[in-house]
Structure 1
Amino acid sequence: MNYSRLIFVFLFLCTGSVSFAQNARVKGIILNNEKQPVADVNISSSGNATQTNADGFFEIEVPSNRKAVLIFTHISLKMMSLTINLKPNEIFVFNPVMSNAQEQMGEVFVSSKNKKRVQGITVIDAATIKKIPGANAGIENILKTLPGVNSNNELSTQYAVRGGNYDENLVYVNEIEVYRPFLIRSGQQEGLSFTNTDLVQNVDFSAGGFQAKFGDKLSSVLDITYRKPTEFGASLEASLLGGSASVDVVSKNKKWSAVTGVRYRNNSLLVNSQDTQTNYTPTFVDVQTNVNYDISEKWQMSFLGNISQNKYLYQPLTRETKFGTIDQPMALAVYYEGREKDQYDTYFGALKTTYKASPTLTFKFIGSLFHTKEEEHFDILAQYRLGNVNADGTTNPEDVDFTRGIGSQLNHARNDLDALIANAEIKGFKEWRDSQLEFGLKYTRESIRDRVIEWEVIDSAGFSVNPPLVILPENNQPYEPYAGPLLPYQDVRATNFNTINRFSGYAQWNQKTELGSSQVWYNLGARFQSWTVSGAAEEGKNQIVFSPRAQFALKPDWDMDMVLRLSGGLYHQPPFYRELRDLNGVVNPNVKAQESVHIVLSNDYSFKMWDRPFKWVTELYYKSLTDVNTYSIDNVRIRYVANNNAKAYAQGLDFRLNGEFVPGTESWISFGYLKTEENYENKGYIARPTDQRLKFAMLFQDYMPNIPSVKMYLNLVYNTGLPGGAPSYSDPYFYQNRLNDYRRADIGFAKVFVDSSTKNAKTNWLKNFKELSVGVEIFNVFNNQNAITNTWVRDVYSKNQYAIPNYMTSRVFNIKLNARL
């Protein structure tokens, strides 16, 4: 890729005129006691003023990050006032009822989080995301501290939610669905998440029971909104893992605005802390922009674009892994030849236009195009020696006193994939007083060209090991000559040219009402999807699924601030390309959609402790799954059986307590219990690959009492072991293995020179900054050894196999600089 062009585009988008207003907006419809719209209501705030139109609609700008008082007056109605405190660029919808009986005054604090609270959506502060340390810092790093969200791989941005796998999570940016590369098999190959945290304004997350307007996945929704700038700004972040820069620009007439970011990452610092010594030269770089244009008050357009290139050059040299017990310590030494060369180039562009036909009717059109070109090429020869460590305590594998096994393994791959995914979608939103109707229709075309050539040859003690699933003559070498054919241990070869056409749509109705003296909010909706897979040896048939969903929330008229929620429905996941491809790499076009009946019962309790705000959230959930497409996970690579011959269930209980444990900061503690099992071809229920029973996590922010500019950030996660690490060919009904518990703590310390509380007090050169901090991070501070998979090595004497853990990263130190103008 021509990086000079990327830099030129970045610098071009950085230029522009400056607007210094830092505002939010309040809009809505004013009604009278008869629930009729009221025209000519005067609304004023901080020198701004407006009037409602004939439909009772108003919209007004207010200052952000401080109290703003809105005054509502009308010639025949009593005055009303409202006090709010909104974030920059936040849009708050307020639909008051003005009375002719009494004045409505006083300080009323409102927040846009209230609506999301009754919907069961977790709101994550964008500022917190950038502060919390992690090997893969960002949104996904924060998600892994939430209950019900599991991961045992700090090098990966992927996550599993309530018994689902990595392919069951929806991700939206500005209401546009985003995609990931297909061929990634290890976390260290992923490089950069799609989401650029420098550009983020709002982050909403739902772990289940979500509305019909969200797409057809089984587990979760991550809904991200990039900010629409109101003034010039720039940011810079640099660390030993890479860096990023972003810029906000606004035109003088405020019609144009753009936010653009460039990121670079190098995982060498982390990879070099693993057991395997390598020559590792990766380059992960991307450029991302979000451009907005206000054509008129009724019509807005925006463009979201991303260009990403991940080059992964990996040449393993040696590996030394110690394992075993105190009585019988063992060691594995591996010597490598060859290298791996992978490249993932992705291009994404989306155009979104919003048209407000009337104060109560809005239409949106979204068109997007995603193109990925991926290649995964490697030839790696590994020669190993397994033995007992010397009795004198020596841990050098070259000085073992007894060799239990020797052998070699040759892995070869020439995998290439080219995918083009196009989307066209129209959405609508209609308001009727306290009710809203949302609807949409979408067409998707997926064109996939894929070639898989991958094989593995294993030699142990001088003879080739036969494939486990092929019936061949018994191999008793070196005692008897072997007369059978020599075959690779694993051999996958396939070429697939497939096109998938999808039509989907939804409609949902929301209403807020009262039940006695209690407030009630409910949502009823349904989705459909129709799809056809063509290009396979067997032509695919057209399939259709229908998914009704509902949410119900009750805020009782109690002294305590509590919201009770019940949500669920029928959820389908029509197969994406990876789910169509079986263990031999061949596409089965008639794989059915996996189906889940999902029920979530939750309690949201807000209270004050130590005179500071806190919230306790409890969620009980159950999923009953049919037409399940079973799979196995190796690191982050998922391989499907590509049939629907199983059923499953997932059940669990999640707790989360968050609030100001330290004044002025947000922290939380999470706990989750999960049990998920599957029944394949009526053989009985066994644990699914994502059956991670217990989860505990803590995200904690603090500062030194006497030096408040010195901050501390702690990210702690504990997960019980996942089923995994068994040989890839093993039948889980005869052999299942669990990895050890995953334990990790990352901590960061920062000296803050400038932030929102100090910038106005600076009179030297620091006054040019809105934020400036320098810090140090310690990843895996307790140096826990966490394994992601096992390598299986044969003992030539006893014919036993030993599971050698493939450990993740050890303790690593990082230095970090953050600045914002």
Structure 2
Amino acid sequence: MKKLIILLLFPTLIFAQKTALVKGRITNKYNSPIEGVAISYLQKGTTTDQNGNYQFTIPIRKTVKVTFSHVSFKIITKKFTARGKRTFNFSPTLEYINEKLEEVVVKNNKKEAQGITKININKVKNIVGANAGVENILMTLPGVSNNNELSTQYNVRGGNFDENLVYVNGIEIYRPFLIRSGQQEGLSFINPHMIQNINFSAGGFQAKYGDKLSSVLDITYRKPKEFGVQLDLSLLGGSFTVEDLFLKDKLSAMVGVRYRDNSLFVNSKQTEVNFRPEFTDIQSAFSYTASNELTLNFLGNFSLNNYNYKPLTRKTRFGTIANPLELIVFYRGQEKDRFKTLFGAFSADYQVNENLKLTGTISSFNTQEEEYFDIAASYNLGEVDSNVGSENFGEVKFSQGIGSQINHARNDLDALINSAQIRATLKDGKNEWKAGIKYQTENIKDRINEWEVIDSLGFSVRPPHHSTNNQPYLPYTGPIEPFKRVKAKNNVDINRASGFIQFSRKTEWNNHKVWINLGVRSHAWTVNTNNQPSKSQITFSPRVQFAIKPDWEKDMLFRISGGWYSQPPFYKELRDYDGIAHPEVKAQKSIHLVAGNDYSFTLWERPFKLTTELYYKNLTDVNSYSVDNVRIRYRADNITEAYAYGLDLRINGEFVPGNDSWISFGYLKTEENINNQGYIARPTDQRLKFGMLFQDYVPNLPDLKAYLNIVYNTGVPGGAPAYADVYQYQNRLNDYKRADLGVSYVVADINKQHSNGFLRHFKELTIGLELFNVFDIRNAITNTWVRDAYSKRQYAIPNFMTGRVMNFNVKMKF
């Protein structure tokens, strides 16, 4: 740690030697590490460790020939020439001696130059968290946050959940509309057992990506090479993945089935419930090689979320030590929700020649959602006796608010999204051109009928600004009216046409490597709501990226990117607080500026990299919103302007030899000005972020491994009661602090195979224990607002997330 502090303060003092570093990870065609690969160079040598990792140094300004050899694999050679102090990343894939030699994979700095973070898929498999998977590992990155461990949604640099692009195999992925809590959300679309590559950009991304304001998550599923089965089982559910080759190896097929039950987490919360949330997901990926030029692909998904919820009681104690308060609630009724989604996409890749590639895709997404509930709640808000010497210490001594409320909903939504697109990639020496066009239709049928009736001390609370309501001083003889009611019926058709063109060039300038990317997007759409006159709009989005890797002794990469980004409204953004869809809603716009630096170095004779990014966003025509758990409700008026700026830092490397870990830090400030009332914090104003992903093992027992996932976020604004002025409610939730720990023992893997007994059937077998929320910290995600009939004050009662939970899992691969 002392050396790390010196590094952060005086990075220029670290490098004194005149050598360059060569490092990498050697794998076989199944992406499994190869231990014991002999590496020879300059009459010297080294070998790979059990994780396939290696590193060595070479002199600068000299060409060095390196040989990689193993008794079971074909020998390969590689020449390295270092003009100055730098780091070469070379991670070849070795082929078995009796098999045909395939392409050797050489890593370069292309992704880093584009501002893209490439995530190791092995970390996704091993990371510990309530929602383990790709999204969970994103939470440890700077600039990415989420205070809800039951949700896979995330905020990036001040944006909300709806501002993130997600692609699988180049196809945009959508999520259900009506889900309002992480408990209902279930499984992420992305199946972590089917992934080959994970790329993530937190801003300033290229024109080839779509029209959103915050981030891009780009996932590629792998193509199987042989028969394989993976099976994961835990107290939270399980997954089963099978893959194989057919038709003389021309057809590759992979199918994954997942099941999850969140009861283990919900039973650790402060609300006693009868609860059975069941989430099922079936996903398939097929690829058929019709010829050397033509490949046909299919991606399909079916998911079903059944959410049956029957609350019984709730007891929440909050406030201060001097003035503790307690809320006790007794419930009657239940909630039954059902979310069914179907997705299918066909694509064809045609390699016209070695320089030109065409890709055509058609896809369809359908979601059918039902949200039905009738829940009555009777509550008592009271002061707790804090006098240690009192006989009633710790008990409620005075009731400040007694009342009840009934919540009702009958909401149905059916959405169908169809799209067709074609893309082209043309390479001309150091130049690369990409272009594409897409046409999309959206039809959403939505019926909303929900209301809330509030009763306090025997009288019904009328809606805000009710001119004739003077209770309890004068009786009111009119009919009972809901305090809050939303009733609407929408039939919305949206037609979209979008396209992009971009130019990239990789070149050299005075021995400095340079990357340039210029591009522009355009998006035109027409909205027709309830057979009313349609509204048409169009946007343009120019984008630019520039990166340079100087020919310095220190391994540095500098980049800058930005542009004018637009987000044409999706259906949720058209719908206001009263459920009415407004076709005239405009696209939100943002100017992005991102400046970054990657600094690779050695510390403790091991490789490390420090990544730094500064960013600024200026937003106009903002469609401001409120956040309730994971439900976002928009104003649908474009009368807001906003800004966001911050700093992201991440240092990753082998803090423990052979195990890559990282530490991240982020600072963010984002504010909005609604209708010229002045700037206030946005709902996602997460000022400070700290994340750490740490891996370790027992030196004398390397098969016993530990994984630690730590996240700390400062509190976000806690929201405001219904119909209240948000400018009067700017208090924040408490800081979010969470640590998840996993311990696993490797019974079998690529380097530990068994020749007899039942263990000989396993390619991989790992047994583990996971402890979620190690320190049992009570984190709040939102507030429940309770009214005090005496003082007319409204109390923010925090809705706490899950407590400490232990899980047991078994992971198998055949």
* Range class of TM-score, shorter chain: 0.7 to 0.9
Q: What is the letter of the counterpart of residue 758 of structure 1?
A: K
Moved segments of 4+, more than 6 Å: 62-67, 392-398
The Cα of 1:770 is off from its aligned counterpart by 1.9
Distance 2:121 2:241 in 1: 15
Distance 1:368 1:65 in 2: 43
Residues 113, 93 of structure 1: CA spacing in aligned structure 2 closer, same or farther, 3 A cutoff? Answer: farther
The Cα of 1:162 is off from its aligned counterpart by 0.4
Residues 142, 644 of structure 1: CA spacing in aligned structure 2 closer, same or farther, 3 A cutoff? Answer: same
The structure 1 residue matched to 2:783, chosen from 786, 790, 802, is 790
Q: What is the letter of the counterpart of residue 778 of structure 1?
A: L
1:702 is the counterpart of 2:696: yes
Q: What do residues 549-603 of structure 1 show as CA deviations (whole Å, max 9, x unaligned)?
A: 0100100000111110000101000000000001110110011100101010000
1:69 is the counterpart of 2:76: yes
The structure 2 residue matched to 1:603, chosen from 579, 597, 611, is 597
Distance 1:621 1:85 in 2: 35
The Cα of 1:392 is off from its aligned counterpart by 6.6
TM-score, scaled relative to structure 2 = 0.87
Q: What do residues 225-249 of structure 1 show as CA deviations (whole Å, max 9, x unaligned)?
A: 0010111111010111000010111
Of the structure 1 ranges 220-229 and 392-401, higher mean CA displacement relative to structure 2 is found in: 392-401
1:681 is the counterpart of 2:675: yes
Conserved 8 A contact 1:753-1:773: yes
The structure 2 residue matched to 1:624, chosen from 618, 635, 639, is 618
Distance 2:440 2:247 in 1: 38
Tell me the SS of whatever aligns to 2:655: coil
The Cα of 1:487 is off from its aligned counterpart by 1.8
1:388 is the counterpart of 2:383: yes
Conserved 8 A contact 1:22-1:231: no
The Cα of 1:610 is off from its aligned counterpart by 1.6
The Cα of 1:542 is off from its aligned counterpart by 1.2
Q: What is the letter of the counterpart of residue 691 of structure 1?
A: D
Residues 687, 748 of structure 1: CA spacing in aligned structure 2 closer, same or farther, 3 A cutoff? Answer: same
Q: What corresponds to 1:651 in structure 2?
A: 645
- Correspondence list, 1:108-507, <5 A: 111-251=106-246, 253-391=248-386, 400-468=396-464, 470-477=465-472, 479-482=473-476, 486-507=480-501
Q: What do residues 197-236 of structure 1 show as CA deviations (whole Å, max 9, x unaligned)?
A: 0111111000000000000000000000001011111101
Q: What corresponds to 2:17 in structure 1?
A: none
Tell me the SS of whatever aligns to 2:767: strand
Conserved 8 A contact 2:740-2:774: yes
Conserved 8 A contact 2:500-2:519: yes
Residues 515, 93 of structure 1: CA spacing in aligned structure 2 closer, same or farther, 3 A cutoff? Answer: farther
Distance 2:292 2:90 in 1: 25
Tell me the SS of whatever aligns to 2:119: strand
1:771 is the counterpart of 2:764: yes
Distance 2:746 2:553 in 1: 40
Q: What corresponds to 1:564 in structure 2?
A: 558
Distance 1:530 1:111 in 2: 40
Conserved 8 A contact 2:492-2:527: yes
1:815 is the counterpart of 2:811: no
Residues 755, 259 of structure 1: CA spacing in aligned structure 2 closer, same or farther, 3 A cutoff? Answer: same
Conserved 8 A contact 1:23-1:64: no
Q: Give structure 1 stretches of 5+ with no counterpart.
A: 1-20, 25-61, 73-81, 95-108
Residues 424, 68 of structure 1: CA spacing in aligned structure 2 closer, same or farther, 3 A cutoff? Answer: farther
Tell me the SS of whatever aligns to 1:799: coil
Conserved 8 A contact 1:67-1:85: no
Q: What corresponds to 1:85 in structure 2?
A: 92
Tell me the SS of whatever aligns to 1:726: coil
Distance 1:716 1:620 in 2: 23
The Cα of 1:694 is off from its aligned counterpart by 0.3
The Cα of 1:679 is off from its aligned counterpart by 1.0
1:525 is the counterpart of 2:519: yes
Q: What is the letter of the counterpart of residue 69 of structure 1?
A: I
Residues 23, 328 of structure 1: CA spacing in aligned structure 2 closer, same or farther, 3 A cutoff? Answer: closer
| Percent of residue pairs bearing the same amino acid type | 58
The Cα of 1:726 is off from its aligned counterpart by 2.4
Q: What corresponds to 1:33 in structure 2?
A: none
Q: Give structure 2 stretches of 5+ with no counterpart.
A: 1-27, 32-68, 80-88
Conserved 8 A contact 1:331-1:395: no
Conserved 8 A contact 1:389-1:395: no
Q: What is the letter of the counterpart of residue 410 of structure 1?
A: I
Conserved 8 A contact 1:726-1:737: no
Residues 353, 134 of structure 1: CA spacing in aligned structure 2 closer, same or farther, 3 A cutoff? Answer: same
The Cα of 1:540 is off from its aligned counterpart by 2.8
1:22 is the counterpart of 2:18: no
The Cα of 1:721 is off from its aligned counterpart by 0.4
TM-score, scaled relative to structure 1 = 0.87
The Cα of 1:763 is off from its aligned counterpart by 4.9
Residues 67, 139 of structure 1: CA spacing in aligned structure 2 closer, same or farther, 3 A cutoff? Answer: farther
Distance 2:70 2:502 in 1: 34
Distance 1:573 1:385 in 2: 45
Conserved 8 A contact 2:646-2:668: yes
CA RMSD of aligned residues (A): 2.4
Residues 396, 408 of structure 1: CA spacing in aligned structure 2 closer, same or farther, 3 A cutoff? Answer: farther
Residues 395, 762 of structure 1: CA spacing in aligned structure 2 closer, same or farther, 3 A cutoff? Answer: farther
Distance 1:717 1:177 in 2: 29
Tell me the SS of whatever aligns to 2:196: strand
Q: What do residues 583-638 of structure 1 show as CA deviations (whole Å, max 9, x unaligned)?
A: 11011001110010101000011111122111100000000111110100011100
Distance 1:582 1:88 in 2: 58
Conserved 8 A contact 1:69-1:83: no
Q: What is the letter of the counterpart of residue 417 of structure 1?
A: L
Distance 2:353 2:711 in 1: 49
Distance 2:391 2:315 in 1: 10
The Cα of 1:769 is off from its aligned counterpart by 1.7
Aligned length: 736
The Cα of 1:131 is off from its aligned counterpart by 0.7
Distance 2:393 2:369 in 1: 38
The Cα of 1:762 is off from its aligned counterpart by 5.3
Conserved 8 A contact 1:536-1:588: no
Tell me the SS of whatever aligns to 1:643: coil
Q: What is the letter of the counterpart of residue 438 of structure 1?
A: K
Conserved 8 A contact 2:719-2:729: no
Q: What do residues 465-501 of structure 1 show as CA deviations (whole Å, max 9, x unaligned)?
A: 1222x34224231x42125553211110100011100
The Cα of 1:732 is off from its aligned counterpart by 1.7
Q: What do residues 326-350 of structure 1 show as CA deviations (whole Å, max 9, x unaligned)?
A: 2222211100000000000000000
The Cα of 1:538 is off from its aligned counterpart by 4.1
Q: What is the letter of the counterpart of residue 626 of structure 1?
A: T
Residues 433, 618 of structure 1: CA spacing in aligned structure 2 closer, same or farther, 3 A cutoff? Answer: same
